[in-house]
Amino acid sequence: MADLNEYFPQEVLHPCETLNEKLEEMGMSRKEFALRTGKPEKTIIAVLKGESSITSEMAILFENITRIPAHFWINKQARYSEYKARLKRRFAVNSAEEWTKSFPYPEMAKNEWVPKTRRLEEKTINLFEYFGVSTHEAWENLYMKSKLKIAAYASLAYTLEPHAISAWLRQGELQAEQIAAPEYNKKEFQKILPQIKTIMADHPHNFFTQLQQLCLTAGVKVFYTPRMPKAPISSSTRWIKGTPVIQLTARYRQNDRFWFTFFHEAGHIILHGKKYISLEGIDFSEADPVKEQEAHAFAEEWTFSKQEEEEVLLQHTIDADDVTKFAKKFNTHPAMIIGRLQHMGVIPFSVGKQFIEPIDLSNLEH
């Protein structure tokens, strides 16, 4: 918070004020002073008008003529330059008030993404630091206008809550930086999917840790980031610095939804490579319906395939024992079968609740 709390003088004068006074004292014209320094007259006039800075080279030249040490001119110019920079910084902070108010700052502070504060100026500076930008216009260019996909950003211009979504995406980027991973290996990732499916089927208490560790062996980073208010995002897949990242919110807090979402994002990595960005649950301009459908089909295949679904539907009646039997045969979790049948309207949502496992990842470090 040095920008706000350290001493900030009301006004610092350009060194031209002192230089003009000295030339008047010496009875020397601007033209003569320019000739004596060996610099173009227009260059010296720009300095004397405060339109240009005194460089270190000039300070040494001025020393010979004014008999004032070079370090005096250098220090005076440095103080003035810092003063102007801080004025510009203050203006950037003050002009970003409405931008700052658009973020769910209390929730971000609760998650320890930014420091807690009630002061609007401090919130703005903290947000600048959080996003790694110098102004709110820089944030706009990065998150609302950029189509270069630098750091795996997609334009959020047409989303309903771009500020909250950008905060969530930025947190994912920061989390990804903290995870060391080997180089991504597509064959290895495909090879471990059956093991991940077994974790899904067994659903042990430490399923998420097992999932993370297994994916990491193939160079895929998987982690949880709590979602922001009014931003109904379920997950995202991006490539950050050449590494695939699956960022999850566990939005629906039940295992069937969680595992389908994971395999959906895994499908994007395997099928669509580095250029495609997935934001599941968010309608954004760069979403590709065809690729989303392909990822959906991929998730179906790995959680409860269409062929397996047809086999189950051959039975006229389906009870809990049938679901358990089929889940064991297909190496999936009963919740995946129940969830699909409920979605299809084959069974009511009141049936099979005992198979749905609640998920709470909020106790994980994030």
Q: What is the 3-state secondary structure (H, E, C) of the chain?
A: CHHHHCCCCCCCCCCHHHHHHHHHHHCCCHHHHHHHHCCCHHHHHHHHCCCCCCCHHHHHHHHHHHCCCHHHHHHHHHHHHHHHHHHHHHHHHHCCHHHHHCCCHHHHHHCCCCCCCCCHHHHHHHHHHHHCCCCHHHHHHHHHHCCCCHHHCCCCCCCCCHHHHHHHHHHHHHHHHCCCCCCCCHHHHHHHHHHHHHHHHHCCCCHHHHHHHHHHHCCCEEEECCCCCCCCCCEEEEEECCEEEEEECCCCCEHHHHHHHHHHHHHHHHHHCCCCCEEECCCCCCCCHHHHHHHHHHHHHHHCCHHHHHHHHCCCCCCHHHHHHHHHHHCCCHHHHHHHHHHHCCCCCCCCHHHCCECCCCCCCC
Q: What is the pLDDT of residues 313-322, one digit of tens each?
A: 998 788 888 8
- Of residues 364 and 286, more confidence is placed in 286
How much is the average pLDDT of 298-322?
91
Rounded to the nearest integer, the mean pLDDT of the chain is 89
In this prediction, residue 335 carries a pLDDT of: 94
How much is the average pLDDT of 144-164?
69
d(CA 233, CA 231): 6
Which residue carries 């460089």 as its tokens?
A: 55
How much is the average pLDDT of 216-237?
93
d(CA 165, CA 283): 11
In this prediction, residue 236 carries a pLDDT of: 92
Residue range 2-94 forms a domain whose CATH class is: mainly alpha
CA-closest candidate to residue 302, choices 186, 189, 192, 197: 197
Paired residues of 239 in beta bridges: 244
* Confidence category of residue 307, pLDDT binned at 50, 70, 90: very high
CA-closest candidate to residue 21, choices 48, 2, 41: 48
Is the pLDDT assigned to residue 63 strictly greater than 90? yes
